[in-house]
Amino acid sequence: MTPRERLLTVLRGEIPDCVPVAPDFSNMIPARLTGKPFWDLYLYNDPPIWQAYIDAAKRFNIDALMDGYFPLHFPDEKDILPWLRLPPTTEEQKNIIPADEWQSFIVFKSPQRIVTQRSRTENTRRIWEPRVCVYYVADAPTEWIPPARAALPEIPEHFEPLEEVKPADTGQKGLAKLKEMMAEQGLVGVFLAKSLILQSEQDIFRYYDRPDLHDYWAQKLVENVEKRFQNIMAMDVKPDFICVGSSGTLIFQTVEIFRRLAFPAIKRAIELATDAGFPTHIHSCGPEKQLVKIMAEETDLTVIDPLEIPPMGDCILAEIKKLYGRKLTLKGNLHTTEVMLYGTPEAVSAACEKTIDDAASGGRFILSTGDQCGRDTPDENLLAMIDTARTYGKY
């Protein structure tokens, strides 16, 4: 089987030739393998990080389940705010500045980092956005933080235009090109909904300050899902699956908040996708056991990851498999530091065998890691993981 065939088989609930293997290396490892400063990828799109991911997937010959790394954007979505976070009220909407009215500037540059900040002019007066993005030479960026957290003033003392950013098509043609690049190496997913709605302290305060808006926010999120799904269905080239998760769903939100705000939209997204024949996927690092239970018992979700072990998460894979393995495809959950980063290839193989023993019986399992592999994860450990899935993981 090709990686694409193997993944489609397991997502249908059927038995593939062997356990699919998809280590989570969406960012750090692909960036490292280019040999370039990380800001080349994240800031200058040279190449875009999603292209580097496909290159890495082919290099290691994994079964690539590309869950939302490509930021599909439609012209009628003014900004990511309306569908990824708390929808603004009518009054708040008046104060939102369209993205195309801002211009990015470099406000700090050193051998270790580049910091950008957006600005616009109003009646000849320059106004600076009170947040910055920090791009590192060898780490993923820190985005949309107060300037003070980057040891910078709110109004920069010096700045220069951000130039030579390569255009990156994140629309329909871009998705078509990405799928052509992926070919038989795996599947490409895009986001339809998010399971984490409260993404900042400000969001949390707004939630508790305005209980009268909870139903409004939940309904607006459902409406945004339905509108975005119409756009997806109108495309000539469609994604292979639909993503409805978020990192840290139950770290920044209680189960009650998740049910109140995010779940109605997620449930609607899964309904729409399932009816149209798309598999659906949730990634949510951190505690996830309660989320698995909700998804298995109250939705038709297809696959969920990364099922992190304690203390980072709360999932025991064998237990999760026994409870929900007939309903959900499970994807996880090797320890990213103790096993993948610091372990030997022999230790990685042993951990893979234990994970396969815990969850591969009957299918519906993808061998993966308990969240993102660190930048310095040895290639030998990744190869050991893949080889174990191909050999010990044979059905």
In terms of Cβ atoms closer than 10 Å to its own Cβ (0-12, 13-18, 19+), residue 346 is exposed
SS3 call for 21? strand
pLDDT over 50 at 14, yes or no: yes
* pLDDT tens figures, 15-56: 999 999 999 999 999 999 999 999 999 999 999 999 999 999
The DSSP secondary-structure symbol of 338 reads I
User: What is the average pLDDT value for the chain, to the nearest integer?
Assistant: 94
User: Which band of pLDDT confidence, cut at 50, 70 and 90, is reported for residue 105?
Assistant: very high
Give me the pLDDT at residue 83, please.
45
Count how many Cα atoms sit within 13 Å of the Cα of residue 30 in the half-sphere of its side chain: 27
DSSP codes joined into one string, 85-131: SPPPPHHHHTTPPPGGG-EEEEEEE-SSEEEEEEEEEETTEEEEEEE
DSSP-assigned beta bridge partners for residue 252: none
- Dist. CA 350–CA 361, nearest whole Å: 17
* pLDDT tens figures, 149-161: 999 999 999 999 9
* pLDDT tens figures, 136-150: 999 999 998 999 999
The mean per-residue pLDDT over the stretch 226-242 comes to: 96
Tokens of 134: 């920090």
How far, rounded to the nearest angstrom, does the alpha carbon of residue 264 sit from its chain's CA centroid?
A: 20
Give me the amino acid identity at 86: L
Longest dimension (CA), the chain: 68
Tokens of 187: 């599947």
Predicted TM-score of the model (pTM): 0.94
- Dist. CA 245–CA 285, nearest whole Å: 10
